[in-house]
Structure 1
Amino acid sequence: MRRLGPADYRAMPWKDGGGSTTELLIHPPGASLAGDFLWRISMADVPASGPFSRFPGVDRSLMVLSGALELDHGEHGTQLLEGPLRPVAFSGDWATSGRLLGGPCRDFNVLSARGRARHRLSVLAAPAPLPRAQVLVVVCLEGTLEIAGQVLGPLDLLEWEGGGEARGDGVMAVVELTTSS
């Protein structure tokens, strides 16, 4: 079981300088998005409408933590993220652009390398039972959580094989991850 908090995360500007991403976890540790990663969990501050980075061969899930956003996937349609904590999934192969609805937003992202890893993103409110997974990552989004004797505040995370129960008054992002051997 591993517990991390905001001081452990890695912030980086976008390639185009238009915003910034905070990487919570990447697997394997030290991997990069250049192709050797299996999965990554991050948050992004999106100050303006514009294109999203393409990630060929990658499955994506995204939810808004604050603000509102419309994703335009061209021929694959649009997805409206009007309220927080409603995950959507889409292919990193798609040319996607985001249109802010009413100002900047912050989003929560999960990427997994298709064929080598899979993920499922959901949101739960404590108290709640937690699923078991090859790897389970719980990120406290608001309030306080207690899981297996660990107390998590906002933006703290716990990584382990899951199971058990989350207690407290918190709301959490739950990411179930599986990698192929």
Structure 2
Amino acid sequence: MRILRAAGYRVMPWKNGGGTTTEIAVSPHSAGLDDFDWRISMARVETSGPFSSFAGIDRTLAVLEGEGIVLEIAGRSASRLTAASAPLSFPGDVPTGATLIGGPITDLNVMTRRSRMTHTVERLSLSDEMRVEHSVGTTLVLSVDGSVKVFADGVSNLGPLDALILDRDSPELRLQPEGQGHLFVVRLLDLAANG
């Protein structure tokens, strides 16, 4: 298990130059936009406009903060995303544009290289203790708001936007919220190793 603190995330420009993204984690470590296997990041979206195109990439988007956005994917509209919506998955290499519903948002963006990886993203409300088991691949847990105690070979704390990464050898986690909070569980599967 590895804990990632929000204060240590890397901030970098969008591929299309229209803003900045905060990279939570990437594999391989220090990979760039053209050679990652998977990448998890957050972006502050200040204006409506087109998304960057990522050839061979599958994406999942979720709203962390703000009123939300309406996505137009491959010429089809009506995908409305808010902070209460389930995460939305779509190909990163089809034309995609976003219209803000009512001001800027912060989103969570999970991307995997289609030929090598697959992923799932789940939004959970955390009011009682829960358990998270490691999966066959890599699991990342992102605390959105509030503080969460983590019990696994000792006790740690996750603050807002802190994350932890579990691999195959990680023990089962117990997560205990300190108040009401939300978190995301991202599971990443290497197709070659598990196919």
Shift, 1:86, TM fit: 2.6
Name the amino acid aligned to 1:150. S
Change (3 A) 1:142 1:55: same
Which 4+ runs in 1 deviate beyond 6 A? none
- Alignment partner, residue 163 of structure 2: 157
8 Å CA contact retained: 1:47, 1:105: yes
- Alignment partner, residue 114 of structure 1: 114
Shift, 1:124, TM fit: 1.7
8 Å CA contact retained: 2:14, 2:52: no
- Alignment partner, residue 131 of structure 2: 129
Secondary structure of the structure 1 residue equivalent to 2:7: helix
Secondary structure of the structure 2 residue equivalent to 1:142: coil
Shift, 1:178, TM fit: 1.1
- Alignment partner, residue 96 of structure 1: 96
Alignment of 1:17-96 (within 5 A): 17-34=17-34, 36-67=35-66, 68-84=68-84, 86-96=86-96
8 Å CA contact retained: 1:64, 1:86: no
TM-score for both structures, normalised by structure 1: 0.92
* Matches of 1:45 and 1:145, distance apart in 2: 24
- Alignment partner, residue 185 of structure 2: 174
Structure 2: give runs of 5+ residues left out of the alignment: none
TM-score for both structures, normalised by structure 2: 0.85
8 Å CA contact retained: 1:139, 1:155: yes
Name the amino acid aligned to 1:106. T
Shift, 1:77, TM fit: 4.5
